[in-house]
Amino acid sequence: MEEISNTYYLPNMHIAVPCDSMEIEKATEAIAKISGPAVVRYAREATPIVTNQDTPYKFGVANIIRYRGEREDFIQAFEIKLSSKYESESEDLSIVACGPMVPEAMRAAYILKEEYGIETRIVNVHTVKPIDKEVLVRATEETGIIVAAEEHQAGGFGNIVAGIIAQGKRYDSPLLMDIVGVPDRFGESGAPWELMKVFGLTAEHIAKRAKRLYDRKVQDH
């Protein structure tokens, strides 16, 4: 639960954190063509498949995921685009996630929309280094709320995201931010989804914390 931060600061390192088995395959093919050290980080246990062979993927360029309404097939309820081809839809907030937290972010977007009418931009940062800085700054300036979600010690991925945003955003663009991750404790033994609940990493936890920031934004306005 510490390897994102431990490897991110190594010079010339390349880090892929795929969200499912489909992205693992694409990431592995991408780093095979890279000169220099590289790592692919993925979950030990089986995780939901939320992309397919036709889902756009470009190493170093994040994907934007948008919930479009209930469908029988969960994947069909979402639209996925390369961040470079995405135009803002004036969403209420953004969830920035990597790895197994992407499916949870998608479920959180469903909860936020169906229960509260809140529109969510999901940023799938499948390449943590080199990270897509432009997509993070745009999400900040266009939505004003960022929730970083990581299956990792809180602040590994989240602090990387926060630092990039702080360096890149406009001075006059307001920001509310929260980081969902493992709360400064060692791992425990147990079934993966039980531990996700214990550590507060599930969609329900993400949605709750995102809703809290959204309410603050509304109150401040």
13-29 per-position pLDDT tens digit: 999 999 999 999 999 99
For the record, the structure tokens of 118 come out as 């809140």
Phi and psi at residue 162, to the nearest 5°:
-60, -40
For residue 191, give Cα distances in angstroms to 46, 105, 114, 147, 201.
11, 20, 29, 25, 14
Do the beta carbons of residue 130 and residue 62 sit within 8 Å?
no
Task: Looking at the structure, give the CATH architecture of the domain made up of residues 3-220.
Answer: 3-Layer(aba) Sandwich (3.40)
| pLDDT classification of 1: cutoffs 50, 70, 90 | confident
| pLDDT classification of 215: cutoffs 50, 70, 90 | very high
pTM, full prediction? 0.95
Q: Is the peptide bond before 130 cis (omega within 30 degrees of 0)?
A: yes
For the record, the structure tokens of 80 come out as 């996925």
β strands within the chain, DSSP E: 14-16, 38-40, 63-67, 78-82, 93-97, 120-124, 127-129, 145-153, 176-182
